[in-house]
Chains A and B, each alone.
Chain A
Amino acid sequence: MAYIVLQITWKASPAIQEYGAGFLTGRTWDPNTSEFGILPEIWGTLYSSLLALFIGSFFGIAVAVFLSEGYLGNFVFNVLKLFGLQFHKFWGKLPSWSESTLKNLVELLAAIPSVVYGLWGIFVVMPLLREPCNWLHENMGWFPIFGTRYQGPGMLTASFVLAIMILPTISAISRDALVAVPPKLREASYGLGATRWETILSVVLPTASGGIFGGIVLAFGRALGETMALAMLVGNMNTIEISIFSPANTLAALLANNFSEAGSDEMKVGVLMYAGVVLMAITLVVNIFGALILQRATAGLKGMR
């Protein structure tokens, strides 16, 4: 690990000396005039990851709650009832194997190659998002995040697909954290007269929050570094826009698009390595930050376990 970091930094060193901190604030990427700046990419990387995290966490945690709190049993019970098959409702919670099978199915999402997600984004997500997004732009265009027309490739398409990609990480870890919440806590909460949702929202989720947060941080790490799907979906345009419909660029996509041509040119490889170092640094900061918050969150809950 240290060797990799060292090697990349070594390769990046000529570019670091040449461009210095201006590299981080420049907005142009033009190999022909040797002008390199990655501010739009830094912005795009963080923005798309946060947006993906926002969508992904919501659904990921929902999936985890569904799989761990016995809603699956209810769901099956209701579906069977629709077909006229009525069982006694002692079946509130299905045997654990059925839930873990579903959990594994969700985790299979992680096994789908990135390029396939990219294709799915192009052929399914883009046509699907076009109509509602244009409606949003026409009717709520005054709101900065809907400020540009939806063209297809762009921040939202990329983030949406990214959200699906990080969903398994969030849901798997969140489910494990939820399952690990001591049954006594739930029983106590029911005993005090709380409803099921009150129990979930004010007892179970806060207790498991440390674990859930850990999952989200891991997912953030993945979202930052995701390459191929983003290179296909984000539009690869060096702009900084608040609008979620506008095309953008990310560090990983920049690397993917430029690396094959950098070839033997030391400076070109250098600037790409420099961009790689920046991406590593961002990921590192995110992870350290996440670990710190995780530590504080779990420390506060120690007494409950």
Chain B
Amino acid sequence: MQITPSNLGSYVALAAMLVATVGCNGGSKPTASGEGGGSSSGELVKLQGSGASFPALLYASWFKTYSDEHKNVQVDYQSVGSGAGVSAVIDGTVDFGASDAAMTEEEMAKVERGVQLLPMTAGAIVIAYNLEGVSELKLSREAYAGIFLKEITKWNDPKIASTNEGVELPDADINVIVRSDSSGTTFNFTQHMAAISEKFKSDVGVNKAPNWPVGTKSKGNEGVTTSLKQTPGSIGYVEFGFADKAKLSMASLENKSGKFIKPSIESAQAALAAVEFPPSLIAFLPDPEGDESWPIVTYTWIIAYKTYDDSAKVEAFKDLIKYCLTTGQESSEPLGYIPLPEAVTSKVTAALDNISAK
């Protein structure tokens, strides 16, 4: 297999997967640029974060740009999955975590220092597939729930065929790919599935790591994207940006109003328009209303502690978040994420006051 621009995306995703698989590399890299350049203070501040792979593409871009502009701050982010991110926050092994399943009350209670959740961006979860010759696929709610429940196992099943007239569907097995790690993407996906299918709710349930009745498992959004790219006849759920970057075909899904919607930043934005954040800044949309709404959307959060030992760290962290909420939002759309509306960013900025040094 040769490297072409069209499959470059999966290689990039794979490189990210490598980083995630190899795990935490906390090794201290001496920065040569610390002395000279435009750095205001000589002291190097290191921020370590880990968690969700869903926003990993965006976070990697933010943190890199920020570190380039602020030579005295070094931000490391490991895309290890939301479940691992939350565990890392509870264990106190990181400076901040990230999760797109937010945190449960129970999990928050385990952190003595207290946590502040900060919604950073939002995204759409899409159902991507790899089926030669089929570039457009419409899936009804019944169809995609059926696929992930192992009720529909062939591509030419009448339930798929009925909404895809004129599309030649092969008589082949559907190879479902799900996540192997504890994942916020899975959490949001199952939350949506449970909202549209009673059977899914009772058989699989809403969970970061459910007991899937079907599917081979890959690690992270990166892993699922690569598997989809490499396996003809496969289908799986990934964050929009990953599917877009890897040039995967994405299915149009039936939304709450019964319309088939193409995944796009606009349709996801339409879905998120109605969200009102409570003071905790945690809100989910299992099945958004609206004719133009993409049905599976979610916010994703950075999890900060309420108190830190080191005041320099707090300063750097707050500055980093402010940067992400302002300049950073501009790079959301090109990477396949949804920029936060003004009303939300101001709330998040205000919430930064809850974070302080001891």
Contact = CB atoms under 8 A, between A and B. Distances in A.
A and B are partners in one complex rather than unrelated chains: yes
Interface stretch (A7-15, A38-46, A120-128): A120-128
Given A115-B21, A228-B21, A261-B181, A28 B211 contact: yes
B interface, how many residues as a size bin? 35 or more
A282 to B, nearest CB: 22
A237 B215 contact: yes
Contacts of A115: 18, 21-22
A264 B216 contact: no
A254 to B, nearest CB: 10
A127 B1 contact: yes
Interface residues of A, number: 33
B80 interface: yes
Interface in A194-235: 228, 231-232, 235
Contacts of B1: 123-124, 127
A261 B173 contact: no
Given A123-B230, A127-B1, A32 B216 contact: no
A102 to B, nearest CB: 28
B216 A30 contact: no
B188 to A, nearest CB: 16
B205 A263 contact: no
B207 interface: yes
A174 interface: no
A236 interface: yes
B227 A231 contact: no
Nearest to B173: A149
A54 interface: no
Interface stretch (B81-89, B139-147, B273-281): B81-89
A127 B209 CA distance: 29
A29 B211 contact: yes
A66 B328 CA distance: 60
B34 interface: no
B18 A263 contact: no
Nearest to B93: A263
List 3 A-B pairs, minimum CB-CB distance, nearest first. A263-B87, A236-B217, A235-B216
25 contacts: A32-B209, A115-B21, A118-B21, A119-B14, A123-B1, A123-B230, A151-B231, A151-B234, A152-B230, A152-B234, A153-B216, A154-B216, A231-B180, A232-B223, A236-B217, A236-B218, A257-B180, A257-B217, A260-B80, A260-B181, A261-B83, A261-B87, A262-B87, A263-B87, A263-B91
Given A257-B180, A261-B81, 4 more contacts: A30-B211, A115-B22, A122-B227, A153-B218
Interface of B: 1, 14, 18, 21-23, 80-81, 83-84, 86-88, 90-91, 110, 173, 175, 180-182, 205, 207, 209-211, 215-219, 223, 226-227, 230-234
